[in-house]
Structure formats: structure tokens, C-alpha cells
Amino acid sequence: MDSVPALDEPLKKVLGPATAKVMAEHLGLHTVGDLLHHYPRRYEERGQLTHLADLPMDEHVTVVAQVADARLHTFASSRAPRGKGQRLEVTITDGSGRLQLVFFGAGVHKPHKELLPGTRAMFAGKVSVFNRRLQLAHPAYELLRGDAEETVETWAGALIPIYPATAKLESWKIGKALQTVLPSAQEAADPLPESLREGRGLVPLPEALLKIHRPHTKADIEEARARLKWDEAFVLQVALARRRHADAQLPAVPRRPRPDGILAAFDDRLPFTLTEGQRKVSEEIFADLATDHPMHRLLQGEVGSGKTLVALRAMLAVVDAGGQAAMLAPTEVLAQQHHRSVTEMMGELAQGGMLGGAENATKVVLLTGSMGAAARRHALLDLATGEAGIVIGTHALIEDKVQFHDLGLVVVDEQHRFGVEQRDALRGKGKQPPHLLVMTATPIPRTVAMTVFGDLETSVLDQLPAGRSPIASHVVPAADKPHFLARAWERVREEVEKGHQAYVVCPRIGDEEDGAKAKKKSDEDEAEKRPPLAVLDTAEQLARGPLAGLRVEALHGRMQPDDKDAVMRRFAAGEVDVLVATTVIEVGVNVPNATVMVIMDADRFGVSQLHQLRGRVGRGSAPGLCLLVSEMPEASAARQRLNAVASTLDGFELSRIDLEQRREGDVLGQAQSGTRSSLRMLAVIDDEEVIAEAREEATRIVAADPELERLPALRTALDALLDEEREQYLEKG
């Protein structure tokens, strides 16, 4: 008796080595179970044809259509100089549009015989344009003979599943492979506890797998989808619930502020009162810090909502309790900026051990990779002795050499830029696990927070402090209306004349060896084909042209840290009128006098990134202006995205739009954009209810049975989801 369970059977045993190799390399499918979970993207109905009018460019598509016309042409070419070259042109139609198929050379004979007018077939290939018409060159095809039993049986009667496919493996070949393995679905172990499944009226897993691949009605598809979504949401939430449960068992040192300590002295110094939101979030954090297991909290807040202030109060509470706090920033520029703003906010409270320092002051040290040896040695000593209560730095903080006296709190700024391993290494620096506060200025919809950061409690700062000004945003269509771009530069000059400053942001630096190789995103339009605009070229052109006479300087990530800091200091001091920069300035640069931002090739940035960048202006009392410059045509998806950014300042609304466009990414893995998703059926935005309910069920089940001893099938599903890489990811999260 073969001991391998049916779903773990390698595909090469079942389908043969050639097909299995393509499935493994191009679709990441290795076992029968993997293939059963490769669900159809959509379904075609026999009588209802795909809209040829809506075909996407440059994508592999599968269409069902009827041959309207087929013509064989002969022509002369270098290979066939006597006019013996052959080209078969076949026109197919579906009532909504027409599409040309072309076959050349020896490839014309078979289709010439088979693709006769009136024939119906499935066609698969890459959509391209020739002579301004859409076409498929040498498409693969499968004839649909309504009378042949085998074809009708293979394509599941009325509904034809269309699978995510590749050039090497068409949808119908995947469909045929699935017919081979489908009987194994009967042996699928059901991860949902029976009480949960019956309580929610969900069909058993084997039935769901049969119905998703061979539905007889649309109701079959709905039933299968509802069930498979629950599986994905539930297994993921169980993984996160077990993680939260394990964290709650870890020991940590409770940290409570003293009534007459440094936090109280700091609050007395503040020249303003905290917003209601800042007070509420601070209370949540202080309550967590006072417990004897580690805090794991995510602090979301719009750019400028005062997250740094809330984090600093948490750090001071830990210093009060005799511990140390570390703040990690993703870049040196940002670490220096945080260090500057923290020491400014604290004043003499940051001058521990120095003349003029307050009585209960502490030291605030900066630690980055580019520091000189002497300064670095000094900082390391202050950390090891406990002299420094607060340290701010980049990942240089987590090197082996860095020793803390008593690390009590780790604050991570912009978590999505910071690797899980790095957070883990820093966590290992405490005698017991330190408390963890993760900050992000990218608003995250609630469901994403429940999945991506499901092991963290969430706090949201959604009020902007008093005195922050509104920001007007407009799209500048540079190709359709060049005079709009000229007007944009006039607006910059007007702001500078009023004594304000401006940012100009470009996607690229410009000292790359071959700008022409800049990665193309899509060929929506000529604008996409040229390399993105670069900082160095743009700074020079502006200084010579529309902004001549103004003080224009460039800033980008490849400059030496000291040079970068010098430029930022000059800009902050008002000695530079216009800063032309890459997204180095996206996070944390605070210049209240900057009122206008022009983002060049804005379509090359993501929605959240544009929102982050825009938050750099309007930080003072004068209103802000953000101009999104793009050469993309009005009807393009890129322009719609820019219109969305221009139409709202609500970061949560924009993050939903962003997610809908990017897909979820591998929610567990480190890929944060939509290419590799462990969620096949679940859409994080649309299935909010399922995720919230799955989280409740998962928390309840894990509380009752943390090791899932009574649910072996759920354990197995969890092991499959959490292969080693993801298991580590959750461990370290």
C-alpha cells in the first residue's frame, strides 16, 4: 500500500515529468493538493462569449469565440523569395468585437484545415497590436465540438473553467490535468471544525473542490467559493491567534512611569495640549507597558498626526521605570531627523550628565552606520552602561556589537520598510523580550491590519493637530495640456516669492549607467516607454529654465550621508528654495515652510506613496499644494489612480483603492505587493466580514486548545500554509 496520502502525491507521478515540470516552474504547483487548490479565475458559459472588446494588452488571455472568416495569403520574404511565404489570417467574433488571429509558415496547415467559418473554439495567446488592430499571433486553440461527448464532459457541460495560465501551459491543459486529479479531492482532510462548518452552513471541503472545478450551475460556484474563502481566512487567523497566544505567555518587565519622573517633566514643557486621539492612544500604550507580557502594538496615523510625540512619551515612560528605549528608522536621513526632533522636543531633559541638563534628564544618542569610530564607541558605551535612556538609529542598532544595559521598549518606524529578521534581532537584545511599538504613516484598512498585522493590537491616530493646513491636490496632464505644466512652475515661483519653499519629486536619480534600461511597467502609452524623469537632469533643467534665479538643489539616496544631511539642513533653514529629490523625502522630513510639491511622472508611484509624499507640505500655517504631473492619457488606469489621490485626503480611503489595484500580495510572506498571494480566493477588502468572523472563531478555538490537539486536520492545513519560511516570518513578526 502506497503510504503517500493522495493529496501529497507529486504531480510528476500523476501527470508525467514534462507537464509537472512546467507546473512547478511557472505556477509553483508540485503536488496533487497544490493543483486542486489552483482555482479557476472565471467561467465561460457555452452560449455566452467573452467580450473581445475588453481584451487587455500584453496579457495571456483565453477566449471562447466563433470563426467568422479565414484567408490564406502568400507573400515574398527573405526566407521565401518566390512568393512562397504563407500567412493565415483568421477573424473570430463573439458579438461584442472581432479579433484577428495570424499563423505563419508551416504553422498554417493545421488551423487552415480546422478553423473553418462557423467553428467554435477556445483560443489562448498574448494580445498584441498590429496595424492598429488587436491580434493573437500563433494562438493555441481547442475546438469545442458540441456533439463530441468527450469535449462536453471535459469542459464540464455548461460552465467552462478558465484557469490562471501561462504561455507554456494553456487554461484547457490545466483543466485536463485537473480532471485527472479531481477524484483525489474526496480524500481532502477538512480543516474546519465540524461544529463551525455546520453552524455556518458551509459545504464539506471535498464537495467544494469538486464544485469549484466542475460546477453545473452558478450556485455551485457560489457555494464552493464561500467555503474556500472561509478556509483561507480561518487557517490564517488560527496561525495569528496562536502567535498572539504564545506572545501572551512570554515574560516581560512591566514599565510604569513615575508621577514625578521625566515623562511628567516632559509633559509640563509641552507648548500645546495633546489631542484627544493622542491622549487615548497613549493610555492604551501605557496600559500595555504596565503588564508582565510584551506589548505588541501597531500605531497607525496619518502623516503629521503626532505619532512621534506619542512614541516619545512611551519611551520616556520606560526610562522612568529604569529601562531603555530604542527607536529604529528605515534610513539614516530619517534617523537623524528623529534624533533632531526628539532632542529639540526634550530640551534640557535630553542632556543627561551634561552641564545645564535637567535633574531627571537622560541621554539621547544617535547610532548609524556612517558615524565616525570615536562617536560610535562613545554611543555604544552609553548604551552598555545605561547612561543613554533613548537611542535612535538605523539597523546599525542590531549589530552584534551593540549591547544594552536594559532594553525595555523597541519602536519601529515604517515597519513595511524594515525586515522581520531585523526586528527579531533587536528583540533579542533585551534580558527579557522588550515591548514593541510599530508605527506606520500608511493607513491600513482594518481587514488588512487583521491579516498582515494580525498578531498586533492596533491603535489609530486619525485627528490632525490644530494648526495643520489643508492641502489642495491637482493632476497636471503634461502631454494633453503642456500649458498646465508651465503654470505649475509659475505656481512654484509664486510660493517662493511669498517666502515659502517647494519640493519637486522624481522617480529616478539619473546617475544610472543606462537610463534606457529603466524598467517599463506597461505599454499603456508612449509615456511609459521613456525612462522615468530623473532628479539630476530635472534639477539642472529647472535651474536653467522655468525656475532660473531660484536656489535649486538636489537630494537622493546615493549621496554621502553627510552631504544629504547638509542639504536637508540648508532646506530646513530656508537657504534652499526648491529641493529636487527622490522619495528619500517620503518619510519624516519636516519643513513647515514648504507649501508646494510637484511630483513628476506621478503615475510611476503607488497611491499610498503619493499620499505619504503629499503629507510633506502644508505642515505649517500656510495651505499646501500638491501637483501630480503625468503624461498618461486621460482614460488610462494610471490617470484614474491619480484622480483618486487628488480627490481625497483620507488615507484610509486611498489605501483601499491602492489595495484593490495592487491585490493583496503574499499576506504572510515578505512580498508586500500583489504578485505572489497565498490568498487565492479571499479578497482582503471585499471579504471583511469573513475575516472578522474567522478571527473571532480562531481566537476562541486557540484559547480552548492552543496546540490544536483535538483538530488534527486543522494542524495539517496550518503546516501546509506555514511552510518553514512563513513559520519563521510569524515567529519573528
Percentage above 90 pLDDT, the chain = 24
Better-scored residue on pLDDT, 514 or 93: 93
The CA distance from 626 to 614, in Å, is 6
Query: What's the alpha-carbon Rg for the chain, to the nearest Å?
Result: 30
Question: Would you say 393 and 376 are in contact if contact means Cβ atoms under 8 Å apart?
Answer: no
Better-scored residue on pLDDT, 422 or 692: 692
The CA distance from 392 to 400, in Å, is 17
Counting other chains too, the contacts that 131-135 makes at CB distance below 8 Å and 24 or more residues apart are: 133/100, 134/52, 134/55, 134/57, 134/99, 134/100, 135/99, 135/100, 135/101, 135/102
Record the pTM: 0.65
The CA distance from 462 to 408, in Å, is 27
Among residues 168, 230, 167, which one has the least CA distance to residue 203? 230
Instruction: Name the amino acid, one letter, at 449.
Output: A
C-beta neighbour count of 395 within 10 angstroms: 19
Write the pLDDT tens digit of every residue in 506-548: 888 766 544 344 444 443 444 445 677 778 888 888 898 899 9
Question: Would you say 138 and 87 are in contact if contact means Cβ atoms under 8 Å apart?
Answer: no
The CA distance from 434 to 397, in Å, is 15
pLDDT band at 1 (very low <50, low <70, confident <90, very high): very low
Mean per-residue pLDDT for 62-91?
Answer: 79
pLDDT band at 63 (very low <50, low <70, confident <90, very high): confident
Lowest-pLDDT range, 146-150, 636-640, 715-719?
Answer: 146-150
Average pLDDT of every residue of the chain: 80
Give residue 671's pLDDT.
34
pLDDT band at 555 (very low <50, low <70, confident <90, very high): confident
Write the pLDDT tens digit of every residue in 345-383: 898 888 877 766 677 889 999 998 888 889 999 999 999
Give residue 7's pLDDT.
77
How many residues are given for the chain? 733
User: Under 8 Å CB-to-CB from 113, ≥6 apart: which residues?
Assistant: none
Write the pLDDT tens digit of every residue in 296-318: 898 888 766 788 899 999 999 99
Give residue 515's pLDDT.
39
Give residue 466's pLDDT.
64
Q: What is the DSSP letter of 463?
A: P
- Using CB atoms within 10 Å of the CB of residue 476, give its burial: 0 to 12 exposed, 13 to 18 middle, 19+ buried: buried
- Locate the DSSP E strands across 284-404: 296-301, 324-328, 363-367, 388-393
Q: What is the DSSP letter of 468?
A: P
